[in-house]
Structure formats: structure tokens, C-alpha cells
Amino acid sequence: MAARKHEGDIRPPGRKRLLSDEQRLNWLILIRSENVGPATFRDLINHFGGSAAALEALPQLSQSGGNRGRIRICSQQNAEDELKKATRAGASLVALGEPDYPAWLALVDMPPPLVYVKGALELLQQPMVAIVGARNGSAIGQKFTRMLAADLGREGFVIASGLARGIDTAAHISSLERGTVAVMAGGINSVYPPENAQLQEDIGKKGVLLSEMPFGYKPRGKDFPRRNRLISGVSLGVIVIEAAFRSGSLITARLAGEQGREVFAVPGNPLDPRAAGTNKLLRDGAGLVTSAEDVISVLAPILGRGHDPRDDKTGGNFETAPDSPIILDVDQSERECVIDALGVTPVDIDEIIRATRLPARQVQIILLELDLAGRLERHGSQLVSLINQREN
């Protein structure tokens, strides 16, 4: 293997610093490659000490994991073209661990290693509250949203939402002058919905547009839950205003709870289907919201503890490459042992290490092999399961 250039990774502890242009390009190539998601990216960087070495190892890892084909690795030309287009549009590609990376997003489980941002980037370091709700929000629901967003803005909170119709749109419009962040399901330059084109442009100047998706990417249905995870991730708390039983807003609320964020809901008329989801959240323990004070009274003590996520050592800081030798050659019997310990039911990685009695680093490299071969599913919180059971 060629000599490796030591590179910052995404483990604590360390001091936040900027990636070099070469490292930023390599990070983009790596995250755009086949079967590489945030968790796999993190493990690759942590194991190999840098993206260049990780990219070099991808083909062998994928084949060792059982991939009979050739893993698709993003080309340098495609990555360079994407970066050039984003730069021309005024967007920046920010890496986990850099000063402009959203402060609270860095603390979630498996944060995106790279995000595109455009606008007043200083807003990303201020305390945020997410406001989400029905796309067909009622007139009274949208009025309350505007009042709540304005009141929270006056108290120093930036409002995050998803730029959708209805409640999201009302939240952005009301908070535009004081601070708003639009988290997008598509690329940062993809206009959706079409009627919010001017609002999106305004947010890109006065607020912040944020996306983890490739520049120019058109959103699909499956991308919105992924976006919802970022909406809750950038925020201290999520307020749901009007949501049916089956709605993306309830997904955002569930994700917020999993991320340790505060969940709030505005009560509604029991006869209105748009209140069914919010009333259920209240029944399940969400904070009741009738005014901004209900939110502030819960979040102020959190902020008052003096905790600054930018100083948190779990927030994606940088570190040098590992001191111990990189393991690539794994004994087949060890690989079979790990595969036997896996199943379709998610299991904690630590349990796999205990069950196999193998060194942790060997287990991690075998899991990387399976992941890059498309045979492993990651569920968050260090839980993994086997997608394709090995043939008997």
C-alpha cells in the first residue's frame, strides 16, 4: 500500500480544523461511493486514518465481504464537477469536525460527514428549534406557527424546518429576518416544492440552506425521512404543529426522541384529522405548547448549563491516524465466525465481539467488508444485521 497522508478523522478527542482541498475531495469521493453511508464512512476513516487509504482499500474490502462484482467508486472527475457547480452557486461543502459544521448535528449518532450549506453560516452555531407540521396546514395552524416562530426568534432561537408546504413554509417566512435554516431532501440547488422557489432563494441569502445530498440531486420519497433526521439533528427541540397519524412530522418527532432532543406538540381539535398525530404525541408525553414560553422554559435550562456543542469531544473532532498496523487480511475462519454471529435481528457490535472472542479491530474490518459488499445493514446505536445470509 502506498504511503498514507495522515488525515483528521471523526473520533474524539482533538481540535477542530479545516480539511485540505485534497482531503475534502477524497471525502466527497468516499461518501459518494457505493455502499458507503455515514457509519461506514466513519469506520473507514477511523480504521485507515484517512480517506485516501480508505479509498484504496475499498475494492479488496468489498470482494472479501462477498461482492462478486466490482464496487462502484465515485470518480475524481465527478466529484470535482460537483464541487465546481456548488462553488459557482455560492454553496460550501463543510466536513464534520470543521468550525462551520452545524453544532448540534455533530452530536447525533452517525452524522453526515459532509453537508452543503449556503447563506449566513453563523446561524448554524446558534441554538435552533425545529417547527414542522402538515403540508395542508389550516389557516389557524399557520397563523399560530408564524406567531410562535417570531416569538422564538425574538428570544434568540433560529428556526429550522424542511421547506415543505404549509406549516414549514409559515415557519420559514416568519423567521426569515431573525434566522431560519431550511433542511432540504434534494440537492441544495433543487427547488422543491416549486412554489417555494423565491422563499428558497431568500433563505439562501438571509438564512441557511442545508443538504447532505449531491448538488443537483432531485428528491425522491425515500429521501424525506433522511432529511427529517437532519431537521431534528440540528435542533435542541422539535415542535409539531398539526400532523396526521401517518405523517413525516411524526417521523421527525420520533427521530428527535431517539437523538435525545426535546419533543413538543401543539394541541388541536379532536375532530380535525390534522390534530390526530399531535394529540397522540401529547398523550405519549410530548411537551404541551400554547406559547413560546412553553418551549423556552424547557430549553433555557439546557442552554444555561453552559454546554457548548462546539466544544464537545464527541462532536466530530479530528485525530491522527491509528498507531497500530492496519488489518486487511482476515482469516476466513474469523470471517465465518462473525457471519455466524450475525442474523436478521439487529445486534450490538459489542455483543458480536463478545460472542466471537475476536479482537475488536478484526470484527470491525469484517463488518466493513460485509457492509461494502452490500450484505450488512446498520440500524444506528451500533446495531447491525445481516441482509443476505450466507449460502449453506
Look up the CATH number of the domain holding residue 190: 3.40.50.450
Decide if 196 is inside a domain: yes
Do 157 and 296 fall within a single domain? yes
3-state SS assignment for residue 335: helix
- 79 and 116 in a common domain: no
pLDDT at 316: 43
| pTM reported for the whole predicted model | 0.86
Determine the angle formed by the axes of helices 51-64 and 21-31, rounding to 10 degrees: 20
**The domain boundary residue, chosen from 89, 124, 140:** 89
Residues 122 and 244 both lie in one domain? yes
pLDDT for 321: 47
- DSSP annotation of 188 reads T
Q: In the 8-state DSSP scheme, what is residue 18?
A: P
Asked whether residue 310 is domain-assigned, the answer is no
Please tell me the least confidently modeled range out of 1-10, 35-44, 201-210, 358-367: 1-10
Same structural domain, 119 and 77: no
- Bridge partners for 129 per DSSP: 159, 237
Residue 226 · residue 252 · CB < 8 Å: no
For the chain, what is the mean pLDDT? 88
Residue 3 lies in a domain: no
Do residues 134 and 144 make contact, with C-beta atoms less than 8 angstroms apart?
Answer: no
Position 16 in a domain: no
Q: Note down the domain range covering 374.
A: 332-386
Q: What is the CA radius of gyration of the chain?
A: 22
Residues 266 and 366 in one domain: no
> Do both 212 and 295 map to the same domain?
yes
Residue 12 belongs to some domain of the structure: no
Residue 284 shares a structural domain with residue 234: yes
Q: How many domains does the chain have?
A: 3
Based on the fold, state whether residues 166 and 265 are members of the same structural domain: yes
Instruction: Give the tens place of pLDDT for each residue, 203-239.
Output: 999 999 999 999 989 999 999 999 999 999 999 999 9
263 and 193, same structural domain?
yes
What whole-number distance in Å separates Cα of residue 135 and Cα of residue 274?
10
- Residue-wise pLDDT for 184-205, tens only, equals 999 999 999 999 999 999 999 9
At residue 308 the predicted structure's pLDDT band, cuts being 50, 70 and 90, is low
Cis bond upstream, residue 193 (ω within 30): yes
Q: On the CB side of 28, how many CA atoms lie within 13 Å of its CA?
A: 26
Whether the per-residue pLDDT at 43 is higher than 70: the answer is yes
Domain match, 343 and 221 both: no
Asked if 280 and 144 sit in the same domain, the reply is yes
Do 251 and 294 sit in the same domain of this protein?
yes
- Residues 336-363: pLDDT tens digits? 899 889 988 999 999 999 999 988 888 8
